[in-house]
Amino acid sequence: MARRPELQEADETAVALGNFTKVILEAELTNPSRRKVLANIAEMRESLHRLERSIDPVHLPEAFFDPSQPRLIGHFVALALISQQRNALGGLQPFYGSGVYAIYYNGGNPYYASIANSETPIYVGKADPPDGAKTVVEQEVKLFNRLNEHRKNIDKVQGVELEDFECRALAVQSGYQTSAENHLIRLFKPIWNNETKILFGIGKHGDSSATRANSKSPWDTVHPGRTWAEGNPEAKTVADIYAEVLEHFNRTKVFTSTEDIFSAFAESIRQANHENYVDDDGLA
């Protein structure tokens, strides 16, 4: 009895793959040849995954939840931060812990009119723990120190008043602060963060005498007052920075309530959950 043609084809393909493997392992590949072979292998792997899924009568779920995924952990830590109470930045007392934080503006500076008194932070960041820290006490006061540094900088400069700032802070288990910070930056695009590339510089420290020719940060241009930055040339004019700020807020979502943020978090977790599932399994 003749074999079914699809089974015969499968057997022949398996033999061909075995021969291909032997030839490649025995060959002395040049770099261009190796890149070409790797590209072919990746294409074959993807084709076989699609074939596997198309003939399997049992469908995969739309998503597979793995709480150990670093990106998802970042979402949850960020969500826990947003659930914390907002406190006056100028009134913080020392506390143990490293982790993540968000700073909010409630004043009348026209640069920040779009986010004043909203749930969109003007800046988010993290404080890393000392090496080997396992408990919150072993993390020392890294989170407080970072916020206190921002408090001192804001209190030195013109254009904003310290009493107009609030913050949220969350001490977290060592190792989770980076993924949480990354998610907060992606979601809020805070105007003072370096990643936004507009009004950055609050976290910059004084230049040494050998680097006095460094350009003044946009933050120091708009908010003069830090002595070490006074002699540095401006990289951008105040007018140019203000135009960029207005454009940024025109295209960036401003969250007016925590309910809006929780909805955005839920959607982001669904997307991250699906993307991790696709990435891990090679499925489309």
Report how far residue 110's alpha carbon sits from residue 132's, in angstroms, rounded to the nearest whole number: 44
Choose among 105, 101, 99, 258: nearest CA to 169.
101
State the average pLDDT over residues 211-230. Answer: 85
Do the domain assignments include residue 16?
Answer: yes
Across the range 148-162, mean pLDDT stands at: 97
Residue 124 lies in a domain: yes
Task: Tell me what pLDDT residue 96 has.
Answer: 97
| 204 vs 133 pLDDT, higher one | 133
String of b and e for 98-132 (b: at least 16 CB within 10 Å)?
bbbbbbbbbeeeebbebbbebbbbbbbbbbbbeee
Stretch 69-95: mean pLDDT:
88
Of 134, 16, 146, which Cα lies nearest the Cα of 92? 146
Q: In the 8-state DSSP scheme, what is residue 214? A: S
Statement to judge: residues 135 and 241 lie in one domain:
yes
- For residue 11, is it within any domain? yes
Whether 85 and 17 share a structural domain: no
Task: Give tens-digit pLDDT for 111-129.
Answer: 999 999 999 999 999 999 9
Q: Are residues 95 and 190 in the same domain?
A: yes
Residue 254 lies in a domain: yes
Structural domains of the chain, count: 2
Is the same domain home to 133 and 252? yes
Residue type for position 138: E
How many angstroms separate the Cα of 98 from the Cα of each of 86, 122, 136?
17, 20, 7
66 in a domain, yes or no? no
Q: Are residues 114 and 186 in the same domain?
A: yes
Predicted confidence band at 11 (pLDDT cuts at 50, 70, 90)? confident
- Alpha-carbon distance of 244 to 229, in angstroms, equals 22
Q: For 139-149, write each residue's pLDDT tens digit.
A: 999 999 999 99
- Tell me, what's the pLDDT at 122? 98
In a domain, 41, yes or no: yes
Q: In this structure, are 88 and 37 located in the same domain?
A: no
How do residues 14-57 score in pLDDT, each as one tens digit?
888 888 888 888 888 898 888 988 998 988 888 888 888 788 88
Which parts of the chain fold into alpha helices (H)? 5-26, 31-55, 70-82, 142-156, 177-188, 218-222, 238-251, 258-281
One domain, residues 106 and 161? yes
Stated length of the chain: 284
What is the band of 70 on the pLDDT scale with cuts at 50, 70, 90? low
Whether residue 219 is found in the same domain as residue 106: yes
Split at pLDDT 50, 70, 90, the class of 208 is very low
Q: Which pLDDT does position 281 carry in this prediction?
A: 47
Residue 17 is part of which domain span?
Answer: 5-55
Triad 250, 204, 179: Cα angle to 5°: 65
Residues 105 and 136 in one domain: yes
Please tell me whether residues 124 and 228 are part of one structural domain: yes
